[in-house]
Structure 1
């Protein structure tokens, strides 16, 4: 039987790429899968502004062998994917769908056949519709439902999957569902729900991590946090207080429970500042204390650059229209802080900073403030519009340039003692980019959505293959 100890036996680092179930699988209503919240939203909501859905997505459900073959041929030795909760439990609880179990068994077994280490995420935004209709992550009973779902996955797949994460980006997921309002159930500037979501998500994660340990599963488990590395604009007043408030908003409700097994010490103070309350679950101190992860996954794209609040009501700045909008990504929280926009830093077509240096500063901050935990870069990439040549080949030089900068900064942090052991480029192939649809491309492999989902490796795929080969040659 495989052991976690074997994962790094002959290599000091894992190199791969990642996807998420709703974004790539398709097959939304076959083989016993239940309806998910995103299925319902994309089919019926007027807030699906780009009128795209994940019904077919990248058709990974039928083409996973082709995708994993390409990964192996590209020198990648690990694959981060998520499990669709509604494919395992069509109603979120109750009867298990054996066809869903069979599908993920097939994916995991083929990963191992190709020498690819599977890294499984239990929840990546796609809640079963039945649970969403019961209040979703605002109903604290969901924490027990999630734990039961997790235990099924551990039992079915834990003999072969040695790297697990409970939840993808609980902070950013909470932000999009409750502050931006672009993800279902589309609440807008609801600070109460924003923090309650994070509490319930972290409680669910802690319960699942405790179950993982109790079941004696061989492997490591953690949570995946979107990097919210806070930097304060030098023009700001009260910089220390400003950092503390913004860091709580972006990071502390995730990192402190995940790495220290408790709620942040400053929680009561921040309840006053942000004007919210938490509905606590019974025995939550004990639950959090038993739910410390073995590692931290970091999805790392940008920093959070802030300054003191100047004027105006709380407002969210977000761009899901790409080149069709001039909006820059950011926020203003009345009386507390607001985003600062650094004109010296480039931005992508969706208004987000492109600043590879933050790979280094974020990793150093995690090391210095949180005891240098084991870290995996579970997502990092660059979304762009792409124009293929007559053969469907994409020369994505812009992606390669930024890709290289990010990797150089990550390896610099590693050389300075950060305990980072894996990197997953986002994404393995082109896929559905949530509200942005399919025009925003992230993949190392082009998917021709108009030509039977044909796969065509991009220039970045070959560049990454060479980079991985050179890394192992220099570290052998």
Structure 2
């Protein structure tokens, strides 16, 4: 792992398909996609790009483009399908085959234990709001460590605790589809405790790897520099970043976070004194950063809490939020936005990395996701995604600048390896380096960005 890691990323529910094959149990996303009226694009991940059956083909495409690492997640429900707790050997077999196939191709496996797809039986008892889920998560993680820990050099406990809770309990576009900041805080706390306890478990074993957490990050910037803007910036940093990064790196939540939560009438009875030892012992070896945009804010001006996302990808609806008593989103008319109302601001890559370098003693960092969503078109058998190349190229330039200036960034993963299910955005919003023709047997067609990324990696590996 001396060389810089260049790769791409997927997540189990989004790419594997085979939703009920070989003993796999149901997850909250199986249930949501099949039954929920909040599934606004009316699609599911039952087949997706069928990575479960075609992972060899996908890994060969990665190898051909000189990618030397692959970030993927394990489906909890393939390993432990239901509430009986019985381990599914066919699930272990699949991931053993996937990991071994990576190693045979000199592709470093970077394995995430949990990427949104909670087992349905745990979701039904409250999911991460229920402490039982933490105990079940530790048990599941231990099984994975024992099965794969002799070959996996990079582990991630949870993917994006902040964005997951933001969508589940803020915007309400992920199950359980509510806007309830009491539940938001409780689930977020338990997610961080679950991560810490899994890291404790990892360190009990004789495994070869390192373990971290992945955060959906975005450096905070404000419209002004006065005291009110500085307060808004701190509030936004607490709300979006520090409850994750301070906790997993320094070993506990910022003091002023609890003050702000109490000020917002959040009942903190779920916070237990005896948990502190787990947080202190369960700090990360590295931080994964999923980065797409900055957090641009201004002082709270009034009104009730409101979080809005644009999952239809049409019109001029902008992403943003008003968090009562904390801050609200600001909009910069000079910065372009994508079709889903999100800023396109590649400089945030440099700003975020240098902030992490400064604040956290230059902890090892991986860019575990970065990419650009488009409505890609297949024309004459080809996809010319030049917009993706231009925008992602700028992000990478800023990352390399931070690296040159001493930031301990050790790898970069494009989101995503291939086109896949983009949660409630469905399949029209595409991120992949490889086009999936969903209407023609899931045929794989490398995009122009695939060949661009291949050349970029070649040049870096040559030292150019």
Q: Is the 8 A contact 1:426 1:442 kept in 2?
A: yes
The equivalences for 1:59-458 within 5 A come to 59-91=50-82, 94-188=85-179, 190-234=180-224, 238-278=228-268, 279-281=270-272, 283-323=274-314, 325-391=315-381, 393-458=382-447
Superposed displacement of residue 237, structure 1: 5.3
259-268 or 103-112, larger mean C-alpha shift: 259-268
Q: Is the 8 A contact 1:235 1:307 kept in 2?
A: no
Task: Give me the whole-angstrom Cα distance separating, in 1, the residues matched to 2:326 and 2:28.
Answer: 33
Match of 1:469 in 2: 458
Superposed displacement of residue 372, structure 1: 1.0
SS in 1 for 2:258: helix
Superposed displacement of residue 268, structure 1: 2.7
Task: Give me the whole-angstrom Cα distance separating, in 1, the residues matched to 2:163 and 2:408.
Answer: 24
RMSD after superposition: 1.2
Residue segments in structure 2 that go unaligned for 5+ positions in a row: none
SS in 1 for 2:255: coil
Task: Give me the whole-angstrom Cα distance separating, in 2, the residues matched to 1:35 and 1:236.
Answer: 51
Q: Is the 8 A contact 1:93 1:145 kept in 2?
A: no
Q: Is the 8 A contact 2:18 2:47 kept in 1?
A: yes
SS in 2 for 1:460: helix
Task: Give me the whole-angstrom Cα distance separating, in 1, the residues matched to 2:306 and 2:257.
Answer: 23
Residue segments in structure 1 that go unaligned for 5+ positions in a row: 1-6
SS in 2 for 1:371: coil
Task: Give me the whole-angstrom Cα distance separating, in 2, the residues matched to 1:157 and 1:300.
Answer: 28
Task: Give me the whole-angstrom Cα distance separating, in 1, the residues matched to 2:309 and 2:412.
Answer: 27
Task: Give me the whole-angstrom Cα distance separating, in 1, the residues matched to 2:451 and 2:372.
Answer: 16
Task: Give me the whole-angstrom Cα distance separating, in 1, the residues matched to 2:150 and 2:369.
Answer: 25
Q: Is the 8 A contact 1:427 1:444 kept in 2?
A: yes
Task: Give me the whole-angstrom Cα distance separating, in 1, the residues matched to 2:87 and 2:66.
Answer: 35
What is the count of residue pairs matched by the alignment? Answer: 463
Task: Give me the whole-angstrom Cα distance separating, in 2, the residues matched to 1:186 and 1:130.
Answer: 17
Greater than 3 Å deviation, 4+ residue runs: none
Task: Give me the whole-angstrom Cα distance separating, in 2, the residues matched to 1:459 and 1:75.
Answer: 15
CA deviations on 1:344-397 (whole Å, 9 max, x unpaired) are: 111111001111000000001111111110000000000010111122x10000
Superposed displacement of residue 22, structure 1: 0.2
Q: Is the 8 A contact 2:231 2:299 kept in 1?
A: no
Task: Give me the whole-angstrom Cα distance separating, in 2, the residues matched to 1:351 and 1:257.
Answer: 30
CA deviations on 1:159-212 (whole Å, 9 max, x unpaired) are: 111100000000000000000000011112x11111111110000000000110
- What TM-score comes out, normalization by structure 1 length? 0.95
